[in-house]
């Protein structure tokens, strides 16, 4: 997905919501990615856009739930699509010397993965049809072994960060609150 695709999420969603509210039902499935759930090396722009999509859909979930409208954020890992072919992949031309070595290594890794991604897009499509038919669909559908592992690791890290923040982070209310 390009940044243009992320920019279309809100207007397209807003366009379908009046119909869904009128019929008092609906399900908006929005494609995010692993990069929308977990920050990834050298994917700052992609992750920022995907995190924005995820925040939009997660917040929208609360607004539309009273109308029996569901939202599902689809977080696929690496699937064997054309995402990594030369025509779909653009690397920044300018480079900062401090990052040059890591950038070159990262580009080689991405290029070597093309055609070898473990995820099967046809199986993902079948799974999405099943998610779309669920009476109580999940807010997030984490798809693919790589993404499941990464999101689970992040969840554990977040819980550890909450615990590490507890002593200093609690007790910050006004004394009269």
Q: Give per-residue pLDDT as tens, 97-131.
A: 888 888 888 778 777 777 677 778 999 999 999 99
The mean of the pLDDT values for the chain is 88
The SS3 call for residue 26 is strand
Give residue 84's pLDDT.
64
Other beta carbons within 10 angstroms of residue 45's beta carbon come to 12
- The predicted structure's pLDDT at residue 69: 98
If we measure between CA atoms, which residue out of 30, 48, 27 comes closest to residue 39? Answer: 48
pTM, two decimal places? 0.84
pLDDT tens, residue by residue, 74-87: 999 887 776 666 66
**Looking at residues 47-76, what average pLDDT do you find?**
96
Q: Contact, 72 vs 137, CB < 8 A?
A: yes
Q: Which residue from 40, 45, 135, 53 is spatially nearest to 90, judged by alpha carbons? A: 45
Confidence of residue 1 (pLDDT cuts 50, 70, 90): very low
Which of 9-23, 31-45, 111-125 is least confident? 111-125
- In angstroms, the Cα distances linking 151 to 105, 144, 145 are 24, 11, 10
Strands 26-31 and 69-76, by their bridges, are: parallel
* Three-state secondary-structure class, residue 120: coil
Higher pLDDT, residue 158 or 107? 158
User: H-type helices in the chain, by residue range?
Assistant: 3-23, 34-37, 44-64, 100-113, 121-133, 145-169
């Amino acid at each position: 997905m390009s940044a243009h695709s992320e920019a279309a999420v809100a207007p397209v969603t807003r366009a379908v919501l009046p119909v869904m509210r009128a019929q008092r039902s609906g399900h908006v499935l929005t494609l995010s990615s692993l990069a929308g759930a977990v920050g990834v090396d050298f994917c700052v722009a992609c992750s920022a856009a995907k995190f924005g999509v995820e925040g939009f859909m997660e917040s929208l979930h609360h607004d539309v739930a009273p109308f029996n409208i569901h939202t599902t954020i689809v977080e696929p890992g690496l699937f064997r699509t054309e995402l990594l072919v030369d025509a779909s992949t653009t690397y920044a031309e300018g480079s900062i010397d401090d990052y040059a070595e890591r950038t070159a290594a990262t580009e080689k890794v991405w290029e070597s993965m093309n055609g070898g991604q473990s995820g099967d897009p046809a199986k993902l499509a079948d799974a999405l049809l099943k998610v779309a038919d669920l009476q109580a669909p999940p807010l997030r559908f984490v798809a693919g072994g790589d993404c499941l592992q990464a999101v689970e690791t992040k969840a554990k890290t977040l819980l550890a960060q909450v615990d590490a923040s507890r002593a200093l982070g609690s007790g910050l209310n006004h004394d009269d609150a």
